A and B are shown apart, each in its own frame.
Chain A
Amino acid sequence: MIPTLLGVAILVFFMLRVMPGDDVVEMMLRGEGADVPQHIIEAERIRLGLDQPVIMQFFSWMGGLLQGDLGTSMWTGRPVAYELGIRLELSLQVALMATVLAILIALPLGTLSAIFRNTWIDHIIRIVSIAGLAVPSFWLGMLIILFLLTVFRWIPPLTFTPFLEDPLKNLSQLIWPALAVGYRYSAVATRMTRSSILEVMQEDYIRTARAKGVYERLVVARHGMRNALLPVITVIGLEFAFLIGGLVVTEQVFSLNGIGRLFVQAVARGDYTMIQGLVLLVAVAFILVNFLIDLLYAAVDPRIRYS
């Protein structure tokens, strides 16, 4: 985990530096909207530490990282960690809800699709899941908002209500972005569930279960699905990257002030320290998710647990 993160840190730091454009000038211009005297730019540059050689900048950033300090945002002037912290809850909740939704969609649909292979049920589920791959989540988000507006005359509120304050209000607000992202997330998992179940249902132990007189429903649920789960879990882990990508735009559409939106803003503003902090956060999240998936493997498959 540590080497991976170090690699990510080095990559993002130097990739940002090779990007063209003088960020300080841009920042000032956008901030003041007028011509800025050179000496003010210089002073600002020194204040932000950008006058140092790149390598020195890197080491001072790394030094901070080792002490748990992500640095200060070049735009807002507040610590990066603080900016991330206030937005984390919302994005985490949307991500979690999207994942749960995706699993709730993928497992039953994929299983149904496998059991009724090559019937109209399978065809419809296939259309639904392939559409999930084809439709960008921000567009789906807009459709959802339009739908809510025209049919129910309701639009998700602009301010975020934390779950503990008013769970119902919170859920009614966040379910829509979660759906927009989760639908895309579920598509690949549905297809994977289908093919995995189809494969498992050919196994000898399924025949054994039937020969024992197990109800067909239980044969699928107890003997089939659990064995089919491993590849599905793998896909869910890999697709997590797409979930984050989806969040970035979807938060924009639903005007949620989360990590994704912060990402867009930071890139637009050329806020180096913020981008670095965000990329590291996403990397940590990705690693953690895949670690959890490794643990899940062991929970699902005793062969991994004991060998």
Chain B
Amino acid sequence: MTLTADLQTAGAETSSGRTTTPLLSIRNLHVHFVTSRGVVRAVEGISYDVRPGEVVAVVGESGCGKSVSALSVMRLLTKPTGRVVGGEIMFEDRDLLKLSEDEMREVRGEEIAMIFQEPMTSLNPVLPIGFQITETLFMHRTITKDKARARALELLKLVGIPDPERRLDQYPHQFSGGMRQRVMIAIALACDPKLIIADEPTTALDVTIQAQILQLMKDLSRRLNIAMVIITHNLGVVARYADRVNVMYAAKMAEQGTAEAIFARPRHPYTIGLLRSVPRLDKPRTSKLETIEGLPPNLLSPPQGCRFAERCRAKQDACIVEMPPLEAVEEGHLTACLRAREMAEKGFAAVGLARPEVKTIERKRIDRSKPLLELKNLKTHFHVSRGLGFLKGGRATVKAVDDVSFEVFRGETLGLVGESGCGKTTVGRTILRLEKATSGGILFDGQDMLGASAREMKKLRRRVQVIFQDPFSSLNPRMTIGQIIDEPMLVYGLQPNRKAARARTGELLLSVGLFDYMADRYPHELSGGQRQRVGIARALALEPEFIVCDEPVSALDVSIQAQIINILEDLQEEFGLTYLFIAHDLAVVRHISDRVAVMYLGRVMELAERDPLYDDPQHPYTKALLEAVPVPDPILEGQRSHQVLGGEVPSPLNPPKGCVFHTRCPLASEECKREVPQFREIKPNHYAACIKL
């Protein structure tokens, strides 16, 4: 009972100033999923409050139960596998869990609305969006068609969709991802709900669009006094927008408190680990990311004691005996750690959570005499046909990569960043000759790759390898890990026979932090992070010189992401590898790269050494991108100006004339619409394509 008692006192203390009762109050919620392998205890005894008009964040990694707890509030768990087995969810004065199905239906959309993660799939593709907005109204109000349409129009204006009159009758596929998420918000707002639950509302969006959507949500919740629950794994988002934060780990609440307290004085080793393992734009780059080693426990049979104990550096014997209760360390700040008070009094070092010594960044051995890889005016265009079947009509050209030139030197990491559709992945695929270049040249170690014959290409492929983004789909599910890694070695005859190859595979697995016995397992038996390690081991099997890393960490949780980045860095050091690191996460790219190229709509906008690029960006697009990234520090976030870059990335089918960025550029003038800017050296070794510089 300590838990509820503590919560109540904490609630009373914080609300002493404002006497608001919570709008939503989750008490001791338990959710189970019945699967063929047993009962997954997805949520175990979590409690949190949301007061009217407040923005509350629920943070945690995948599988920690954060979304499940939100879906429980809406009573939308997948039936019959998922069920709430205990606790109560008080909304105003009703327990939502006790309502009849029909009473609950009246609550959904009318009093509590929800926004989901995937804007691409969350709208019904066969219904016009106007209909999808008004449907909510018809379900809850007696309203005429005209009035409903007028309201839908008003909502579209409110969420910032241009030309709403025409847009009402269009279908979801005619909207971009960001615009669809705006439509989702319009649907959620339709009946003036008191609470909106947003489940990873911006995870699938590009950083500039993410900033727009979050800004919009925050404005609306302030203006319309709507309380919000934001479920996310992104600590930057939390810092920028949340009033209070709940950190979940393995189905349990680890820590809760105000955003300010959680970021400034975290008192749970997991929270501390999370905060430290994210590469940050606001802090100087350290040589190594701090990681949380290991994996979260299996919720089929969770450990008896503290869920985090196994991965915790502050672990004591008492931790594995019993799950520590959630207790207050200060007003309104609760944590489930036995050593929280000790931590508060004596500091992190006293409990074994000192930051590991920051190694001085040793100069990498980069050979700048001649480039290992050289791209010369590379163009990759795709021809797409419009329409389907008998409705076919015409062909169009997508200029995925348009006139891109850069060099990568032996031993360095070149980061390639940009929003989705900018062509960064196509650059990588063209280098690997997985796409056909339209024109231009690629030289690898002085040898022309585009003109290489099949036999020459086979030799080159050994030297140029790739790590793909999705560790779930890039490994053949019917092959064991051993077979996957053996195969390239046997194809190239690097090992005389299967036995020798398997021995080498064992070594490779060890070098990426796995165990050699894993060679007999199948991909589905491994976690996402482990599979990505397998992907790295497979790339290393051929002893390549150059590796194209295509978003290698974007599908992974933050704590796992840090582990993979560290491995990539270690391997580069050990084998003298050269990386082309393609990613959309600016902080990750900054952490790992020596030089960085920023792409937009098939062109390179800016290219420079890492520090000059991040500290003194020249191109207006780079500036806007850096501005849009939320930093995990609420105080710093409060001080930033948040100049959100408006508009969206134009369709690559019909890119703007002149400078491709002029439609969104704050500096754009008439000349920008006419002239394609030269990619030129603005400062020594700092290149940008902008006529205003």
Is residue A212 contacting chain B, with contact meaning CB distance below 8 A?
yes
Interface-facing stretch out of A185-193, A251-259, A295-303: A295-303
CA distance A164 to B389 in the complex (A): 38
CA distance A203 to B76 in the complex (A): 13
Q: Which residues of A contact B121 (CB under 8 A)?
A: 203-205
Judging by beta carbons under 8 Å apart, are A214 and B118 in contact? no
Is residue B105 contacting chain A, with contact meaning CB distance below 8 A?
yes
Chain A residues 118 to 149 lying within 8 A of chain B, measured CB to CB, are: none
Is residue B391 contacting chain A, with contact meaning CB distance below 8 A?
yes
CA distance A300 to B105 in the complex (A): 28
Which of B122, B123, B126 has the largest number of chain A CB atoms within 10 A?
B126
Contacts A204-B116, A307-B387; is A211 near B139 (CB within 8 Å)? no
Is residue A226 contacting chain B, with contact meaning CB distance below 8 A?
yes
Judging by beta carbons under 8 Å apart, are B123 and A208 in contact? yes
CA distance A37 to B635 in the complex (A): 112
Judging by beta carbons under 8 Å apart, are B171 and A306 in contact? yes
Contact of B108 among A204, A210, A291, A298 (CB under 8 A): A210
Chain A residues 263 to 304 lying within 8 A of chain B, measured CB to CB, are: 291, 294, 297-298, 300-304
CA distance A304 to B556 in the complex (A): 35
Per-position contact with A for B97-141: 1 when CB-CB < 8 Å, else 0?
000010001111110011010100111111110000001100110
Contact of A301 among B106, B126, B187 (CB under 8 A): B126
CA distance A206 to B74 in the complex (A): 14
Contact of A213 among B140, B173, B184, B389 (CB under 8 A): B140
Judging by beta carbons under 8 Å apart, are B116 and A213 in contact? no
Q: Which residues of B contact A87 (CB under 8 A)?
A: none
Contacts A212-B109, A294-B389; is A205 near B123 (CB within 8 Å)? yes
Q: Which residues of B contact A227 (CB under 8 A)?
A: 124-126
CA distance A211 to B139 in the complex (A): 11
Contact of B139 among A204, A208, A215 (CB under 8 A): A215
Contact of A215 among B105, B171, B390, B391 (CB under 8 A): B105
CB distance from B687 to the nearest CB of A (A): 38
Contacts A213-B110, A294-B389; is A303 near B125 (CB within 8 Å)? yes
- Chain A interface size band reads 20 to 34
Q: Which residues of A contact B110 (CB under 8 A)?
A: 213
Contact of A205 among B114, B125, B140, B390 (CB under 8 A): B125
Main SS of chain A's interface residues? helix
Contacts A208-B122, A300-B126, A303-B171; is A213 near B390 (CB within 8 Å)? no
Chain A residues 203 to 248 lying within 8 A of chain B, measured CB to CB, are: 203-205, 207-216, 222-223, 226-227
Is residue B667 contacting chain A, with contact meaning CB distance below 8 A?
no
Is residue B388 contacting chain A, with contact meaning CB distance below 8 A?
yes
Q: Which residue of B lies closest to A224 (CB)?
A: B124
CA distance A19 to B685 in the complex (A): 82
Contacts A213-B136, A303-B173, A306-B174; is A207 near B116 (CB within 8 Å)? yes
Is residue B222 contacting chain A, with contact meaning CB distance below 8 A?
no
Q: Which residue of A lies closest to B106 (CB)?
A: A213
Judging by beta carbons under 8 Å apart, are B136 and A208 in contact? no
Contact of B388 among A207, A214, A302, A307 (CB under 8 A): A307
Q: Which residues of A contact B118 (CB under 8 A)?
A: 204
Judging by beta carbons under 8 Å apart, are A213 and B76 in contact? no
Q: Which residues of B contact A203 (CB under 8 A)?
A: 121
Q: Which residues of B contact A207 (CB under 8 A)?
A: 76, 116, 122
Judging by beta carbons under 8 Å apart, are B108 and A301 in contact? no
CA distance A304 to B125 in the complex (A): 11
Contact of B187 among A204, A212, A291, A305 (CB under 8 A): A212
Is residue B640 contacting chain A, with contact meaning CB distance below 8 A?
no
Q: Which residues of B contact A212 (CB under 8 A)?
A: 108-109, 113, 135-136, 139, 187
CB distance from A37 to the nearest CB of B (A): 57
Is residue B433 contacting chain A, with contact meaning CB distance below 8 A?
no
Contact of A302 among B76, B108, B171 (CB under 8 A): B171
Q: Which residue of B lies closest to A208 (CB)?
A: B122
Q: Which residues of A contact B145 (CB under 8 A)?
A: none
CA distance A212 to B190 in the complex (A): 9
Judging by beta carbons under 8 Å apart, are A211 and B386 in contact? no
CA distance A222 to B124 in the complex (A): 10
Q: Which residues of A contact B125 (CB under 8 A)?
A: 205, 227, 301-303
CA distance A306 to B125 in the complex (A): 12
CA distance A39 to B391 in the complex (A): 58
Which of A204, A223, A226 has the largest number of chain B CB atoms within 10 A?
A204
Which of A209, A210, A227, A301 has the largest number of chain B CB atoms within 10 A?
A209
Q: Which residue of B lies closest to A301 (CB)?
A: B126
Contact of A226 among B122, B126, B135 (CB under 8 A): B126
Q: Which residues of B contact A297 (CB under 8 A)?
A: 389
Judging by beta carbons under 8 Å apart, are B114 and A211 in contact? yes
CA distance A304 to B387 in the complex (A): 7
Judging by beta carbons under 8 Å apart, are B387 and A208 in contact? no
CB distance from A67 to the nearest CB of B (A): 27
CA distance A226 to B125 in the complex (A): 10
The 4 lowest CB-CB distance pairs between A and B, nearest first, are: A213-B109, A213-B108, A212-B109, A204-B121
> Could you write out 20 A-B pairs with CB less than 8 Å apart?
A204-B121, A205-B123, A208-B123, A208-B184, A211-B74, A211-B109, A212-B109, A214-B139, A215-B105, A223-B127, A226-B127, A294-B390, A297-B389, A301-B126, A302-B171, A303-B125, A303-B171, A304-B389, A305-B391, A306-B174
**Residues of A that sit less than 8 Å from B by CB:** 203-205, 207-216, 222-223, 226-227, 291, 294, 297-298, 300-307
**Residues of B that sit less than 8 Å from A by CB:** 74, 76, 101, 105-110, 113-114, 116, 118, 121-128, 135-136, 139-140, 171, 173-174, 184, 187, 386-391
- What 10 additional pairs, Cβ within 8 angstroms, besides A203-B121, A214-B109, A304-B388? A208-B124, A211-B74, A211-B108, A213-B139, A223-B124, A227-B124, A300-B126, A303-B173, A305-B391, A306-B174
